Amino acid sequence: MAGKLGLWKKIEIVGDLAIIGIPFDKKPEDMIQFANEILKEMPYIKAVWGKYRDVEGDYRLATFVHIAGVNKSETLYKEHGCVYYLDITKVFFSSKLSYEHIRVANQVKRGETIINMFAGFGPFSILSYVKGGARRVYSIDINPYAYYYMKANIDLNKAYGVIPMYGDAFKRIYDIDEKEIDRIIVPLPEKGEEAYEVALQKATSGKTIIHLYAQIDVKKDEDPIKKALEKYPKAFFARVLRSVNPHVYHVVLDIKA
C-alpha cells in the first residue's frame, strides 16, 4: 500500500496528460495496471506516459514511453493565467519550474527589455511579458520544436512583445541590438557557467539582473547554496531547485551584473 501511495504522489499532470516516473527497478509494462487506474480515477486524463530519469542532448529531452490511453503527446497546459501548447516528448518541460516562472515574472518591471537565452516553449518569456509588463523579451532556443511551440504560444497569449529567435543562444544573443538590457534569464543549469560569461557581455553593469540556473557540484556534507554563492559572489538571492544526484544540485541565483 505504501508503495502505491508513493506512486500516486509522483504523478505529474500536464493538461490532459499524466506522466509517471519509471522506477529504476521497473519496466514500462510493469506500470500498465497503475496507468489504467489513473485513467479510471481521473477521467479528464487522455493518455499516461512513463518518463525515465534522464535528460540528454542540447534539447534536454527525457525518454518517454506511452503506457496507456490515447497515443498523444501534445496538450494544452495552463499555468499562472497563461496557456501553453506543447509536446512533452519534443520540448523540455518540468512542472517544478512553475514557481520560478512566476517568481521571475513578479520581479519584472513595466517597460523592461529582457533576454531569455534558453526559452523552450516560452513560459518564462511569455509570463514576463503578460504578467510583468516587459516591453520586449528576446527568446532564443536551438530546438526547432520549441521554437514552433513558442511561436504558437505567443499567439495564444497575445504576447506580441516576445520575439522568438531560432538558433544557438551563444551566437544569436549577439544579434540583439539593444543598448541596455534590464534582465537576462539563463535557465540551462548544465551550461550555466559558460552561459553566465556570455550573459555578462550583454549586461549593463550595475543595472542588469541575471537569473542564472547553475549546476553546482558538491562534496559530502557541503552546502550547495554556500558553494554557489562562493562561485557567484554578486548574487543577492539563491535557492536549490533540485538534487540531480547526491553530489550535484541545480541552484537558481539572482545576480546584479
Flag whether pLDDT at 169 surpasses 50: yes
Flag whether pLDDT at 225 surpasses 60: yes
Flag whether pLDDT at 23 surpasses 90: no
What number is the average pLDDT over the span 58-74?
A: 93
Which CATH number is associated with domain 94-256? 3.40.50.150
What number is the average pLDDT over the span 162-169?
A: 98
Grid cell digits, residue 172: 544569436
Q: How many CA atoms does the CB half-sphere of 43 hold within 13 Å?
A: 0
- Specify the pLDDT at position 53: 79
> What residue has cell string 500500500?
1
- Specify the pLDDT at position 5: 46
> Binning pLDDT at 50, 70 and 90, where does residue 256 land?
very high
Whole-number percent of the chain with pLDDT over 90: 84
Flag whether pLDDT at 13 surpasses 70: yes
Q: Domain spanning 2-72: which superfamily?
A: Met-10+ protein-like domains (3.30.300.110)
What residues are paired with 254 via a beta bridge?
211, 237
- Specify the pLDDT at position 8: 64
Please give the residue that has the higher pLDDT: either 165 or 94: 165
What residues does each domain of the chain span?
2-72, 94-256
Residue range 197-214, pLDDT digits in tens: 999 999 998 999 999 999
Nearest to 214 by CA among 198, 202, 231, 234: 231
Q: What rounded mean pLDDT belongs to the chain? A: 94
What number is the average pLDDT over the span 26-37?
A: 90
